[in-house]
Amino acid sequence: VLSKERERMSLNLRIIQNLLVVACFLMPLNSAGQDSVPEQRLLTVDDYAKFKSVGTPVFSEDGLWLAYTVETGDYEQNQSLTRIWMQPAQGGAPIALTAAAVSSWSPVFSKDGKKLYFLSARGEEKTQLWSLNLVAGGEAQRVTELERGVDQLNFSSDQGKLLLVLKDQDTSEPLVEGSNPWVIDRLDFKKDAAGTYLDRLRTHIYIYDLASKELTQITSGDFDDSDPAWSPDDSQVAFTSFRNPGDSYNSDIWLVDAKAGATPRRLTANPGADSSPLWHPDGEWLLFTSARGDIEPNYAVNHLARLNIDELEHQWFSLDLDRNAWSPEFSADGKYVYFRLEDSGEEHVARLGWSAPSFERVLDGKRVVSSFAPGADDQLAAVFSTSMKPGELHVLKNGEPSAITGVNTALVDQLNLGETKEIQFKAPDGWDIGGFVTLPPDYREGKRYPAILKIHGGPVGQYDVGFSFDSQLLAANGYVVIKTNPRGSSGYGQDFTLGLYQGWGEKDYQDVLAGVDRAIELGYADPDRLGMGGYSYGGILTNYLLGKTDRFKAAVSGAGSGHYLASYGHDIYRLWYETELGLPWENRELWESLSPFNHIHKATTPTMFYGGNKDWNVPIQGSEQLYQVMKRVGVETVLVVYPDEHHGGWSYANEKDSWLRRLAWYDRFLKD
Q: Is the Cα torsion angle 346, 348, 353, 354 positive or negative in sign?
A: positive
Of 29, 47, 35, nearest in space to 412 by CA: 47
User: Are the C-beta atoms of 217 and 206 separated by less than 8 Å?
Assistant: yes
Give the model's pLDDT for residue 245: 59
485 strand-pairing partners: 434
Q: How far apart are CA 151 and CA 164, in angstroms?
A: 6
Q: Is the pLDDT of residue 156 over 80?
A: yes
Helix (H, G, I), strand (E, B) or coil at 341: strand
Q: What is the pLDDT of residues 62-100, one digit of tens each?
A: 999 999 999 999 888 888 999 999 999 988 899 999 999
| 41 three-class SS | strand
Residues 363, 103: Cα–Cα separation, whole Å: 31
| pLDDT 10s digits, 320-378 | 999 999 999 999 999 999 999 999 999 999 999 999 889 999 999 999 999 999 998 88
Q: What is the largest CA-CA distance in the chain?
A: 84
Q: Would you say 92 and 403 are in contact if contact means Cβ atoms under 8 Å apart?
A: no
Model confidence at 459, in pLDDT bands (50, 70, 90)? very high
pLDDT > 50? residue 20: no
Mean pLDDT computed over every residue of the chain: 92
CB within 8 Å of 20: residues ≥ 6 apart? 95
Task: Report helix, strand or coil for 57.
Answer: coil
Task: For the chain, state the CA radius of gyration.
Answer: 26
- The residues facing 326 across adjacent strands are 340
Mean local confidence (pLDDT), 101-119: 95
Q: Tell me the angle at which helices 509-521 and 537-546 cross, rounded to the nearest 10 degrees.
A: 80
Q: For the segment 34-48, what is each residue's pLDDT rounded down to a tens digit?
A: 455 668 999 999 999
- Whether 624 shows a pLDDT value over 80: the answer reads yes
For residues 309 and 255, is the Cβ–Cβ distance under 8 A? Answer: yes
Q: Prior bond to 450 cis, omega within 30? A: no
pLDDT > 60? residue 1: no
Q: What is the DSSP string of 106-146?
A: EEEE-TTSSEEEEEE--TTPPPEEEEEETTT----EE----
Nearest Cα to 362, choosing from 464, 391, 373?
Answer: 373
Confidence of residue 127 (pLDDT cuts 50, 70, 90): very high
For residue 94, which amino acid is it? P
> From CA 236, how far away is CA 259, in angstroms rounded?
8
User: Among 50-64, 182-196, 250-264, 571-585, which stretch is predicted with the lowest mean pLDDT?
Assistant: 182-196
Q: Map residue 565 onto helix, strand or coil.
A: helix
Alpha carbon distances (Å) from 371 to 119, 152, 380, 391:
19, 17, 11, 10
How far, in Å, are 10, 155, 438, 551, 636 from residue 425 at the CA level?
60, 50, 16, 19, 33
pLDDT at 24 over 60: no
* Average pLDDT of the segment spanning 533-561: 97
Report phi then psi at 280, rounded to 5. Answer: -70, 150
The pTM (predicted TM-score) of the whole model is 0.92
| E strands in 14-89 | 53-54, 58-59, 65-74, 79-88
Torsion angle of the four alpha carbons 296, 299, 304, 309, in this order, in degrees rounded to the nearest 10:
30
Distance CA 106, CA 91 (A): 21
Tens-place pLDDT, residues 610-622: 999 999 999 999 9
The proportion of the chain whose per-residue pLDDT surpasses 70, expressed as a percent, equals 94
Calpha distance 84→5 (Å, rounded): 28
Per 3-state DSSP, the chain is made up of helix, strand and coil in percentages (nearest 5) of: 20, 30, 50
